[in-house]
């Protein structure tokens, strides 16, 4: 199996189009046409992780955080990033990062976080904006079913928990072909007027090329008339953070102790207790100070995230319990999820969970 085949599976799990614009995801180092010998899954692709990959005969490291986040102007081995990159290149080890592509997935980082806490009735906290497109096309009634099915198979027509969604309306179409035309119905220079079906479907923007290929291949006309619009609708199943409910309400202190046990925190920094029972909980793995207001607006009783600064605790405004549980801790189970996913999709192949703890933060 080549590395590019494994990448296809990874992109099914965490489509790169889901990643934030600032992020650096996908294949960061290596040749995708090389035969894979094994996959090592980790949180951070540090130098000791590359050593582990060498020892375990894995030439593909799948990491959550991208070791290459911003540009490198020199590669001299003077810092931890450069040393990891040099060692990976010297030993022909590829590195692939998922990061916010998995953060934004409805089954990704924040669903894993929510499941660790036993939250139910979960939904995305900050749905992704400007991610949905709409295709409108026209064809003869005899061709409508074929076109619709082709579009559905290419990924169009998915709305929330529903698939194969479309709107179809009848109308009258007209055209007249010139001397270079080869019309399916009628003749050159003939004014044709006949029944047509207008088909409308929505799709995720990164699927546009695939959708158009399916349209052109299945359409009966020589010249395919179509329109594509950008919709302002939020994508309810893609986005950052998640909010859900505890099965049983807890006091603030009980909830923090419960969280500490479930995600194995070395410590939790939190805002003032306000005497509020905790039932509705918002979570965002990693640095999530930007979503404090979103959690309040969503009616959360508590918001769990990481990397909060001193003054940001004031932003709780006595509306909710704000807690910083640690960056690594909030994403702790992500690599386990990736391993489980790959083992289900790639049978009889070495998919190994790294034994290294890459958390740089230690607690007394």
| Residues in binding site | 65, 103, 327, 331
> Binding site for a divalent metal cation: which residues?
65, 103, 327, 331
SS in 3 state form for the chain?
Answer: CEHHHHHHHHHHHCCHHHCCCCCCCEEEECCCCCECCCEEEEEECCHHHHHHHHHCCCCEEEEEECCCCCCCCCCCCCCHHHHHHHHHHHCCCEEEECHHHHHCECCCHHHHHHHHHCCEEEEEEEEECCCEEEEEEEECHHHHHHHHHHHHHCCCCCECCECCCCEEEEEEEEECCCCCCCCCCCCCCCCEEEEEEEEEEEEEHHHHHHHHHHHHHHCCCCCCCEEEEECCCCEEEEEEEEEEEEEEEECHHHHHHHHHHHCCCCCCEECCCCCCCEEEEEEEEEECHHHHHHHHHCCCCEEEEECCCHHHHHHHCCCCEEEECCHHHHCCCHHHHHHHHHHHHCCCCCEEECCCCCCCCCCC
């Amino acid at each position: 199996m080549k590395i590019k085949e494994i990448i296809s599976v990874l992109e099914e799990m965490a489509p790169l189009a889901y990643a934030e614009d600032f992020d650096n995801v996908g294949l960061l180092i290596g040749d995708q046409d090389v035969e894979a010998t094994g996959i090592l899954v980790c949180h951070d692709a540090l130098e000791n992780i590359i050593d582990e990959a060498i020892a375990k005969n894995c030439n593909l490291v799948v990491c959550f955080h991208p070791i290459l986040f911003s540009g490198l102007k020199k590669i001299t081995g003077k810092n931890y990033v450069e040393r990891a990159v040099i060692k990976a290149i010297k030993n022909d080890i590829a590195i692939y990062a998922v990061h916010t592509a998995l953060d934004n997935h409805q089954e990704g980082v924040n669903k894993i976080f929510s499941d660790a806490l036993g939250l139910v009735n979960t939904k995305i906290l900050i749905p992704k904006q400007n991610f949905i497109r709409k295709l409108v096309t026209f064809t003869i009634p005899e061709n409508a079913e074929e076109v619709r099915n082709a579009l559905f198979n290419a990924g169009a027509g998915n709305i929330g928990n529903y698939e194969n969604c479309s709107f179809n309306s009848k109308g009258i179409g007209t055209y007249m072909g010139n001397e270079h035309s080869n019309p399916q119905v009628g003749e050159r220079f003939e004014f044709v007027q006949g029944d047509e079906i207008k088909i409308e479907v929505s799709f995720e923007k990164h699927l546009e090329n695939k959708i158009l290929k399916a349209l052109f291949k299945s359409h009966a006309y020589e010249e395919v008339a179509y329109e594509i619009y950008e919709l302002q609708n939020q994508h309810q199943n893609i986005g950052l953070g998640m909010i859900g409910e505890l099965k049983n309400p807890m006091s603030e202190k009980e909830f923090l102790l419960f969280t500490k046990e479930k995600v194995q925190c070395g410590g939790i920094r939190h805002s003032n207790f306000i005497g509020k029972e905790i039932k509705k909980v918002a979570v965002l793995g990693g640095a999530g100070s930007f979503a404090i207001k979103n959690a309040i607006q969503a009616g959360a009783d508590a918001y769990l995230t990481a990397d909060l600064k001193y003054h940001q605790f004031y932003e709780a405004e006595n509306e909710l319990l704000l807690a910083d549980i640690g960056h690594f801790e909030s994403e702790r189970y992500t690599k386990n999820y990736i391993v489980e996913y790959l083992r289900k999709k790639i049978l009889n192949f070495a998919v190994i969970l790294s034994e290294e703890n890459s958390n740089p933060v230690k607690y007394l």
